[in-house]
Chains A and B, each alone.
Chain A
Amino acid sequence: MNEEQELRVKRIENGTVIDHINAGQALNVLKILGIPDSSQGVVSVLLNSPGKFGIKDVVKIENRELNVREVDKIALIAPNATINIIRNFNVSQKKKVHIPTFVEGVVRCVNPNCISNSNEPVTSKFDVSVEESLRLRCTYCGRSISEDIAKHLL
């Protein structure tokens, strides 16, 4: 982020900055992270911020690092996002999210008659492909989700 943007949103001492979120997806990222309930630190959200490749959203969370499942979920709705771990005002780790090839317990199947939507002791499982566009295919019933993935996140 450049200086002008830093003035808009204060730097954080410790925590996570999720940058390059597809414009319009920041609120879904907050939903994935269970914010505000799961975080007591300050959370800053930047919407429609100009970036090198067009507008983007940015989320800064104080005193919180993300787990693998949260990162997998973010990758599904913001495949270009970067996760920056901030320690002592410095970026101690910077990594791009990777779209996983398989997700478990992350998305609910859209098929109401899918066995994964019943009271069976299983979590949802999806194979993820990115051939033409991002597509999740249910391991149980084979139904695909390719649009509004955020809407189906667990």
Chain B
Amino acid sequence: MKFKGHHIISMTSFSRDMIDSILETAERMEPIALGKQRSGLLTGKILAVLFFEPSTRTRMSFETAMYRLGGDVLNLGSVDASSIAKGETLADTIRVVDGYADAIVLRHPKEGAAQLAAEFSTIPILNAGDGAGHHPTQTLLDLYTIKRESRLEGLKIALAGDLKYGRTVHSLCYALSLYGAEITLISPRELRMPEEIISDLEKRGAKVTETDTIEDAINEVDVIYMTRIQKERFPDPAEYEKVANRLKITPELLTDARPELRIMHPLPRVNEIDTGVDETQHACYFKQAFYGVPVRMALLALVLGAIEI
């Protein structure tokens, strides 16, 4: 399987074999990500980090991944202080940075930006989120977390929160369907998973059920993946409060939960997971954030040709 020089744009282009190879590589990277082993795998390589909108965790985990492998990072910095403020197109920015670095991580508010960047770049583009489009490295780190903390085969998972607009849950569902997962969708009526996606998942062999309360599913699943419900999606603040409080995990709700239950969240959270849950054996979200590092290390090492599988 050749990853060298490949762009990482969307999960739709990943086969199960490809995902498995990336997750296995990430596992090998974990001691280095934890600082227990040193590595010079990417010494002499430069990663350009172009974030046209803020995303602290994604940016920092990419930077950590590069530094942990001995590489260097070139940061675009503030968009306001760059040529973009003068009206430079993304295509031109990419063509310029292409000459400075060995790979580019791109975060952009417009959907399709990473695809466009790939057309103008001779070096690998790693999509770190394009508007409401794709965020493949988030999906890969979610899968990695599930693999490490639960199991990917025969998984029963509940996805809760904003399932209509949440791109992380859309991509994750598609990827999980490759593993034949049983998926329970928990959301308020207004924020249900689009029908088109449910139908795609069923066609791909996933078993999908819908419900609107966490209590219905929490004792039945291996993993519950919470997402933030965005206040601005609700024209009436009272409606938001009603829904936000209904979809909340509290320590009380976990009284009868199986010890194996794992709770994930892409973070940042607002109030959908009570801080009292943090100390329980179920909380997995901070580990999930850490797992972004070995997964991104694996991707960087693969697309830069430092590792071949």
Chain A interface (Cβ within 8 Å of chain B)? 111, 113-116, 118-122, 138-143
Beyond A111-B111, A121-B91, whether A142 also contacts B119 by CB under 8 A is no
- The complex places the Cα of A34 from the Cα of B222 at a distance, in Å, of 60
Considering the complex, which residues of chain B in the window 218-276 have a beta carbon less than 8 Å from any beta carbon of chain A? none
Question: Known contacts A122-B119, A141-B133, A142-B133: does B89 contact A116 (CB below 8 Å)?
Answer: no
Q: Contacts of B116 on A, CB cut-off 8 Å?
A: 115-116, 120, 122, 140
Query: How many Cβ-Cβ contacts under 8 Å join chain A to chain B?
Result: 49
A residues near B147, Cβ cutoff 8 Å: none
B246 smallest CB distance to A (angstroms): 30
How far, in angstroms, from A116 to B133 measured CA to CA in the complex? 13
Closest chain B residue to A109, Cβ basis: B112
Q: Which residue of A lies closest to B115 (CB)?
A: A140
Contact of A120 among B10, B89, B109, B130 (CB under 8 A): B89
Q: Does B110 contact A (CB under 8 A)?
A: yes
Q: Which residues of B contact A138 (CB under 8 A)?
A: 112
Asked if B32 is an interface residue, CB under 8 A from chain A, the answer is no
| Contact indicator B89/A114 (Cβ below 8 Å) | no
Is B89 touching A115 in the complex (CB atoms < 8 A)? no
Which of A119, A121, A141 is within 8 Å of B112, CB to CB?
A: A141
Name the CB-closest residue of A to B109.
A113
Rounded to whole angstroms, the CA-CA distance of A128 and B131 in the bound complex is: 24
Interface residues of B (CB under 8 A from A): 10, 12, 89-91, 108-113, 115-116, 119, 130-134
- Whole-angstrom CA separation of A124 from B52 in the bound complex: 22
Q: How far is the CA of A17 from the CA of B251 in the complex (A)?
A: 74
Contacts of A120 in B (CB 8 A): 89-91, 116
The complex places the Cα of A95 from the Cα of B133 at a distance, in Å, of 40
Q: With both chains docked as a complex, state the minimum distance between the C-beta of A145 and any C-beta of chain B, in angstroms.
A: 13
CA A121 to CA B131, docked complex, whole Å: 19
Nearest 8 A-B pairs (CB), nearest first?
A140-B112, A141-B111, A115-B112, A141-B112, A115-B110, A115-B113, A115-B116, A140-B115
- Could you show 9 A-B contacts with beta carbons less than 8 Å apart? A114-B110, A114-B111, A115-B90, A115-B110, A115-B116, A116-B112, A120-B89, A139-B112, A142-B111
A142, B114: Cα distance in complex, Å: 12
Distance in angstroms between the alpha carbons of A119 and B133 in the assembled complex: 19
A14 to chain B, nearest CB (A): 41
Closest Cβ–Cβ distance, residue A119 to chain B (whole Å): 6
